[in-house]
Structure 1
Amino acid sequence: MKKHLLLLVALIVATSASAQFYVSASGGLSMGSAGILMGTSLNDTQTEAKNHYGSYGEGLNAQLRGGYFFNNMFGIELGLGYLHGSDQTIDSYKVNDAGAIAEYTEGIAHGRAYGLNLALVYKFNEKTYGKIGAITKVGGKTEAIFTKTTPTPFGPIIADGATDYHGRVPLGFTATIGHNFKLNDNLKLFAELEYLGINVTRDNSEFTELSINYPAVPENSLGTGVPAATIPAGSWNLGQAPLSHPVFGTLYAPSEITYVDTLANPNPDPSKALSSVVPYSSFGINFGITYTFSKK
C-alpha cells in the first residue's frame, strides 16, 4: 500500500512539475474543402450554364486560444475563432415549359461566424505537435445580396434585396498539425495546417433590405380595354403591406422565414420553408505566437 501511495505522489509531482499554461493568438487563410454546389450562372447570351462550387468556410480567420499541458506530451486547448468568409456565387435560374428563362437570380453570399473549439494536444517532440478536437458555431450569420429578375410580357419584375441567414447549433471536428519556432523560454512562433469539418443547417432568415419594381401594363394589352393609367409601373418595399396587383398577383415577402424539416405541400405559409445544409468545411494555414507562463 505504501508503495502505491509513493508511486501516486511521484506521478503527481512529476505531472505538476511539467504542467504549463499558455495563451496564443493567430491569423490565417482558409480555402473550401469538399465544396458543395452553391449556384448556377448563365453567360451573357444565356446559352450556357456553369456550376459554382464552394464553402462558406473559405476566407480569413483569427483565433485566440488558451491551453494547459498536463505533462511534456499531452495537453488541452480551448479556442475562440472568427471567420471573415469570402464571397460565394449563388446565382440560380428557372425555365418554363418552353425552355425560356422564367426567373433568374444573381447574387453573392459570405459567412461571418464565431466558433468555439476544444482540442486535445499531443507533442511529438519539442517542435512538432498535433491537435484533434470538436468545434461549434456560437454566433454569426450568412449574408446574401441578390437581384431576382422575373420576365413578363410587359417587362421584368426586379427584386433587389439582402438577407441574413442563421443556423442551428452545429457540431464538427478539427485536426491540426503544427511546428513551433522558439524565440525564448516563454515565446514561440508557430505555423500550422488545419482541417475543419462542419456543416450548418439553416434555422431562420430575415430580409434586411428588399424592394420589388414592376412594369406598367400597356393600354388594351389584356384585351379588356383597361386604360394604362390604371395599371402604372410601381414598387413595393420591405415593411409595406402586401400589394395586390391585378396582373402580377400579390407582391410582398415575409420579413422572416423559419426553416423546418417537414412542410405541407402545397405550402400554405410563406413564412416557412424547407431547411437546407450549407458547408463551412475548410483547409487552412495559420500563423501565430504563443506565450507560455513560467513554471513556479
Structure 2
Amino acid sequence: MVFAVGLFANALFGQGAFVKFSPGYGFSLSSAVMAVNYTEDDDTYEAVYGSLGKGFNIGAAFGYMFNKNVGFELGLNYLIGGKMKGFYDTDALLEDDDMSARMIRIMPSIIISSGLEKVEPYAKVGLVVGLGSITVNEAYELIDWDLEASEKMKLNGGIAVGLNASLGVLFNLSESIGIFAEIAMVTMSYGPTKGEITEYIFDGDDELNELNTSEREYEFVKVLEDDDDPPTSKPTQDLKAKYPFGSIGPNFGIQISF
C-alpha cells in the first residue's frame, strides 16, 4: 500500500507538477462610464471612465506540465479593486460618490511553453469565473439646510464568467525554484442580482432601521414590470446592469516545481 502511494505521488509530482504564488496589479481594460463629475461654476459634466477590475490582486495556482511544451494551471486570485470616484458640486448641494469591488476569481488555463531550460517564455489562455461584490458609497451635504447624509450599498449575487490570457517568462533558478514575470489580461463583466443598503446616516444619526424593506433592499432583473403600488415589505426591483471588470497588468511571483 505504501509502495503504491509512493508510485502515485511520484507520477503526480515527479513529472511536472508545480505551485505558484504571486501579487500583481491590473489597470482598467474595456472601460465604461463609472461616474460623472459636475461643477456648477463651470457648468460642465466630465465622464469618469474605468473598470472595477483595476487594482491589486493576490494569487496562487497549482499546475501540471504534461510535457515540456503543454500544461494546465488552476489559479485562485483575489481582487482588491481600486475606487472609481465622482462628485457633484453646486451652491446648494455637494455630493461625493465612490465605487469599488472585491472578487474571488477562479482561473483554469492552458499553458503553452517554449520548454527552454533557463529562461522559459510561455503563454496562457483560459476562463475566469468570479464571485464578487461591489460597494457604493454616497455622501451628501445640503448647504442651505446645513445637513449631511451618507449611505453605503453592497451589490452582490450571481457569477461572472470571462476570459484570461497571459504572456510571461519563467527564470529557472534551479530544478525546483523559479521566478516569473508576466503581463496578464482579464476580460469580464459582472451583473449583481441583488443589493442592500448597509449603512444610512442622516444628520449624524444612524437611520438604517428606519428604512423599510423596499427602501433598503433591491433585486436586479432582466425584465421589469411596471407597478404603481409596489409593496414596502419586498425588495425594490430594478433593471440588472453589468459592470466592466476587465484589466491588464503585471504579475510577479515564485514557482515551486515538484
Larger strand fraction of residues: 2
**What are the Cα deviations for residues 183-220 of structure 1, in whole angstroms up to 9, with x where unaligned?**
1110000000011000001211111101344xxxxxxx
Tell me which amino acid in the other structure corresponds to 1:196.
Answer: V
In the alignment, is residue 129 of structure 1 matched against residue 122 of structure 2? yes
| Offset at residue 163 of structure 1 (A) | 0.9
Q: 2:221 aligns with which of 260, 263, 277?
A: 260
- CA–CA distance in 2 between the matches of 1:274 and 1:46? 33
Aligned residue number for residue 4 of structure 2: none
* CA contact 2:15–2:65 (8 Å) conserved in 1: yes
Q: 2:136 aligns with which of 141, 144, 156?
A: 144
* CA contact 2:30–2:187 (8 Å) conserved in 1: no
| Offset at residue 158 of structure 1 (A) | 4.9
| Offset at residue 124 of structure 1 (A) | 2.2
Q: Which residues in structure 2 correspond to 1:202-281 (within 5 Å)?
A: 202-213=192-203, 237-240=207-210, 254-265=215-226, 268-269=229-230, 271-281=236-246
Tell me which amino acid in the other structure corresponds to 1:26.
Answer: S
- CA–CA distance in 1 between the matches of 2:140 and 2:209? 19
Q: Which moved more, 1:269-278 or 1:71-80?
A: 269-278
- CA–CA distance in 2 between the matches of 1:157 and 1:253? 24
- Give aligned pairs, total: 241
CA 1:286 to 1:236, structure 2 compared with 1: closer, same or farther past 3 Å? Answer: closer
In the alignment, is residue 54 of structure 1 matched against residue 50 of structure 2? yes
**What are the Cα deviations for residues 229-268 of structure 1, in whole angstroms up to 9, with x where unaligned?**
xxxxx977111256xxxxxxxxx96221111111123564
Aligned residue number for residue 106 of structure 1: 96
- CA–CA distance in 2 between the matches of 1:257 and 1:86? 24
| Offset at residue 72 of structure 1 (A) | 1.2
* CA contact 1:82–1:113 (8 Å) conserved in 2: yes
Percent identity over paired residues: 23
Q: Which residues in structure 2 correspond to 1:174-193 (within 5 Å)?
A: 174-193=164-183
* CA contact 1:16–1:71 (8 Å) conserved in 2: no
Q: Which moved more, 1:194-203 or 1:162-171?
A: 162-171
CA 1:165 to 1:194, structure 2 compared with 1: closer, same or farther past 3 Å? Answer: same
| Offset at residue 130 of structure 1 (A) | 0.5
Instruction: Return the TM-score normalized by structure 1.
Output: 0.73
- CA–CA distance in 1 between the matches of 2:236 and 2:92? 23
- CA–CA distance in 2 between the matches of 1:129 and 1:52? 35
* CA contact 1:167–1:200 (8 Å) conserved in 2: no
Aligned residue number for residue 246 of structure 1: none
**What are the Cα deviations for residues 42-90 of structure 1, in whole angstroms up to 9, with x where unaligned?**
1262622111000011110110000011111111110100011111024
Q: 1:285 aligns with which of 242, 250, 253?
A: 250
| Offset at residue 273 of structure 1 (A) | 1.1
Tell me which amino acid in the other structure corresponds to 1:209.
Answer: E
- CA–CA distance in 1 between the matches of 2:22 and 2:215? 41
RMSD of aligned C-alpha atoms? 2.9
Aligned residue number for residue 225 of structure 1: none
- Partner SS for 1:254: helix
Q: 2:60 aligns with which of 60, 64, 72?
A: 64
**What are the Cα deviations for residues 90-109 of structure 1, in whole angstroms up to 9, with x where unaligned?**
4469xxxxxx9998742111
- Partner SS for 2:160: coil
- Partner SS for 2:135: strand
- CA–CA distance in 2 between the matches of 1:177 and 1:145? 36
Structure 2, unaligned runs of 5 or more: 1-10
